[in-house]
Amino acid sequence: MLKDTVRTKTYQNVIYQNKFLFKDKVVLDVGAGTGILSLFCAKAGAKHVYAVECSLMADMAKEIVQVNGYADVITVLKGKVEEIVLPVPHVDIIISEWMGYFLLFENMLNTVLYARDKWLITDGIVLPDKASLYLTAIEDSEYKEDKIEFWNNVYGFNMSCIKKQSMMEPLIDTVDQNQIVTNCHLLKTMDISNMTSGDAAFTAPFKLVAERNDYIHALVAYFDVSFTKCHKFMGFSTGPRSRGTHWKQTVLYLEDVLTICEGEELVGSMTVSPNKKNARDVDIVLQYSLTGQRCRVSRTQHYKMR
């Protein structure tokens, strides 16, 4: 994950280029991993950093902090944020890299919100403090053929029942920006400083307008995160027009191939909610309709991220 340079470099720049935010402040790093964000904060002048990590990586983080000479500034706490005892009553800053695929799949957002409500001072800051989910539509005949239609004839056998299932599983993959057929629509912005965990479940309408005559095989979701408390705007996008990250994009194949003409509108809504049995899984309901010259479709599809 450290090798995702878009991600790590953005955090590094946010911290190193905004030392005024960190000077003499107490920082909590939620899900610290190797401790890299804590090290950035310590180097930027934080008074103290509490790095919370529940996996075995916490032991590595302790060693790394020691080896790099920050043992007096960074305290690694091995355990769950919900269970650890923080040695101070409050923190000034919470930093975390909590985002999952599709922003919300297997994410740590609830843990960040828990820490915010428990320890962050009034006027304290959360980094990043904004996350937005976007939707666009793509032409993807080649890959849909490979990934979905494949099941119609597998070495001579009909396995189309697996096709039904694989249609329901959003695919994490890199989309070429030339495949984009419509505008990109902002579905939802989350304000990490003020939201509640319930706000991560939502229904958002969308309107995607075709920018050329083409076919639509899939909708594609991606997210941006931003750090609005910096001296100037900082953040990164995981969209198909930006430099690749390990999050790639999330592709939701449509049952129909939509024949869309330039200027026509694909309208609908996306409902996102944590799965009731396992809150780290995500259920997505996509409702869409196109009333075009060459194609009229109205459909509801269900997807599950497991």
Q: Which amino acid is at 243?
A: R
Q: Does 67 bind a second copy (CB under 8 A)?
A: yes
- Three-state SS annotation for 211-278: CCCEEEEEEEEEEEEEECCCCCCEEEECCCCCCCCCCCEEEEEEEEEEEECCCCEEEEEEEEEECCCC
- Report the residue from 72, 87, 89, 157 that binds a second copy according to the rule CB under 8 A: 157
CB of 155 or CB of 233, closer to a second copy: 155
Q: Which of 53, 63, 83, 106 is catalytic?
A: 106
Sorted by sequence, the CB contacts under 8 Å of residue 130 that are 6+ apart come out as 189, 190, 191, 192, 224, 225, 226, 227, 228, 235
Q: Which residues pair with 29 in a beta bridge?
A: 51, 95
Q: Which of 53, 97, 139, 264 is catalytic?
A: 97
Q: Does 155 bind a second copy (CB under 8 A)?
A: yes
- Report the residue from 18, 21, 30, 40 that binds a second copy according to the rule CB under 8 A: 40
State the binding string over 115-154 for a second copy (x if CB under 8 A, else -). Answer: -----------------------------------x---x
- Report the residue from 1, 55, 68, 174 that binds a second copy according to the rule CB under 8 A: 68
Q: Which stretch binds a second copy (CB under 8 A): 35-43, 114-122, 125-133, 182-190?
A: 35-43
Active site annotation includes 53: no
- Report the residue from 54, 86, 162, 204 that binds a second copy according to the rule CB under 8 A: 162
In angstroms, give the least distance from the CB of 204 to a second copy. Answer: 32
Contact 104, 200 (CB under 8 A): yes
Active site annotation includes 83: no
Half-sphere exposure of 172 (CA within 13 A, CB side): 16
In angstroms, give the least distance from the CB of 45 to a second copy. Answer: 15
Q: Kindly report the CA angle at 249 between 133 and 165, in degrees rounded to 5? A: 105
- Neighbour-count burial of 85, counting CB atoms closer than 10 A to its CB (0-12 exposed, 13-18 middle, 19+ buried): exposed
Sites of contact with a second copy (CB under 8 A): 2-3, 8-9, 12, 34, 36, 39-40, 43, 60, 63-64, 67-68, 150, 154-162, 165
The set of catalytic residues is 97, 106
